[in-house]
Amino acid sequence: MNRREFLFTAAAASAVPALASAASTPAPTPATAAKSGPLVRTPVSLMAPRVDGFEAVWGVNELCLGRIEYEDAAGRRHVAAANSFGFTPQHDSVLRVRVDRLQPGQSYRVRAITVSGEDGRTETSAWKTFRTLDASAATTHFVAWNDTHIHNDTIQRLDDLTPAADFLLWNGDTCNNWTASDLLVPTLLHPGGRDITARRPLLFNWGNHDSRGKFGYLTASIVPTPAGRPFCAFRTGPVACIMLHSGEDKPDNHPTFKGRAAFETLLAEEAEWLRAAIRQPGIADAPYRVVCCHMPLRWIEEVPADYANKGYDHFCARGRPLWHDSLVAWKTQLVISGHTHRSEAIPATPDFPYAQLTGGGPNLEQATWIDVDANAARLRVVAHRVAGGIAHELTFPPL
């Protein structure tokens, strides 16, 4: 089954905007909700890791207040319980708590406290371990998934096979199309019935399908990003990563989007931001330089898409012309992407002096997990097939 057949058959204030109730289920009254069962409906996901913190996100069944308790290695306990507008984090569907002022490269114990906004009932999660990123570390290890599309068997197998790491990059297309508001919480916070952040905090990168559908706009209210926008630059050990939102695979005015898409404006804004980001200390002089974006910036056959007849872009046709000169100037070594549901490794050329790696897909025979490991001697990137074996292995020397 090819990608299109599958598809047709088958960030960032701490206060979260209200999510629409599922159309099939009327909203319970407060009195009913307060007695209907557990407060918490998903594990506590640790997301958007930074050198100085993270954001915790979890689903709830009624109006609740949330806070995060965390302990450092010395056993000192702290509490994060206020958003940037002076409220205790609160919502009837999703709680988000941002934790700041942590130390780089340090481990913390973290747990969530959830309190009913109606009757004060309280639930306390188990402790989890979180380690902040460390820009000055001699090594780093992170992993990446692409294009899971709510295939729970694939997500479960990926979770089983993917090791603990500094972070997990979920590099786009977590879903097919957000046709109902009640799809978002289980898909993003409890995918495959798993806590995918149990052994590695989650860095979410947008794919084109994460924006699709009537309720695509709600994704940003659930999934945080390190800098509050769907693009960022950061350092993890000797690797500088630039994360870009690659937009849609058709023009914004395509009739299937029904006026919802405005990605061409975003792509241009990213281009302006990128020109400054590549000059930042720690980014400009990193030994290794990697870009992560859902749609690849190169493809094996680059032909114009016939949008009027269900055609689509296999590569980021609108973003690449805006970003290419900056990526060349930065001496980008590798772009990690998905989108195509094929594992391909395209070597650098004089015209495109950055390699392109794609991987992932919704079915077990397509799925891959990408392992990125760097030290002073080399950057090693391996695309592992979930079905067994290695799809590609790439090695880069330090710059």
Cα atoms in the 13 Å half-sphere on the side-chain side of 280: 16
pLDDT band for position 21 (cuts 50, 70, 90): very low
Residues 264-303 pLDDT 10s: 999 999 999 999 999 999 999 999 999 999 999 999 999 9
DSSP lists the bridge partners of residue 54 as 99
Cα–Cα dist 362/367, whole Å = 6
H/E element, 264: helix 263-277
What pLDDT, on a 0 to 100 scale, did the predictor assign at position 39? 98
What pLDDT, on a 0 to 100 scale, did the predictor assign at position 20? 33
Residues 324-366 pLDDT 10s: 999 999 999 999 999 999 999 999 999 999 999 999 999 999 9
Cα–Cα dist 51/340, whole Å = 32
H/E element, 158: helix 152-161
Q: What is the CATH class of 30-131?
A: mainly beta
What pLDDT, on a 0 to 100 scale, did the predictor assign at position 307? 95
Q: Is 202 exposed, middle or buried (0-12, 13-18, 19+ CB in 10 A)?
A: buried
Residues 56-86 pLDDT 10s: 999 999 999 999 999 999 999 999 999 999 9
Instruction: Walk across the sheet containing 379-385 and list its strands.
Output: 94-99, 54-59, 45-47, 202-204, 168-170, 140-145, 368-374, 379-385, 390-396
Structure-token pair, residue 356: 């392109």
Least confidently predicted of 1-5, 94-98, 291-295: 1-5
pLDDT band for position 13 (cuts 50, 70, 90): very low
Q: Are 193 and 156 in contact (CB under 8 A)?
A: yes
Q: Are 273 and 346 in contact (CB under 8 A)?
A: no
Cα–Cα dist 2/7, whole Å = 9
| pLDDT reading at 30 higher than 50 | no
Cα–Cα dist 190/44, whole Å = 9
pLDDT band for position 35 (cuts 50, 70, 90): low
Cα–Cα dist 169/140, whole Å = 14
The region, left, alpha or beta by phi > 0 then psi within -120 to 50, assigned to residue 37 is left
| pLDDT reading at 27 higher than 60 | no
Domains 3-9+133-396 and 30-131 share a fold: no
Q: Architecture of domain 3-9+133-396 in CATH?
A: 4-Layer Sandwich (3.60)
Cα–Cα dist 111/97, whole Å = 11
One-letter amino acid at 351 equals D
Residues 152-191 pLDDT 10s: 999 999 999 999 999 999 999 999 999 999 999 999 999 9
What pLDDT, on a 0 to 100 scale, did the predictor assign at position 8? 34
Least confidently predicted of 6-20, 357-371, 385-399: 6-20
Cα–Cα dist 380/76, whole Å = 37
Residue spans per domain, the chain:
3-9+133-396, 30-131
Distances (CA, A) of 27 to 23, 36, 215, 224: 9, 12, 18, 26
Residues in the chain: 399
Task: Compute the mean pLDDT over every residue in the chain, rounded to the nearest whole number.
Answer: 93
What pLDDT, on a 0 to 100 scale, did the predictor assign at position 26? 36
Least confidently predicted of 7-21, 167-181, 352-366, 372-386: 7-21
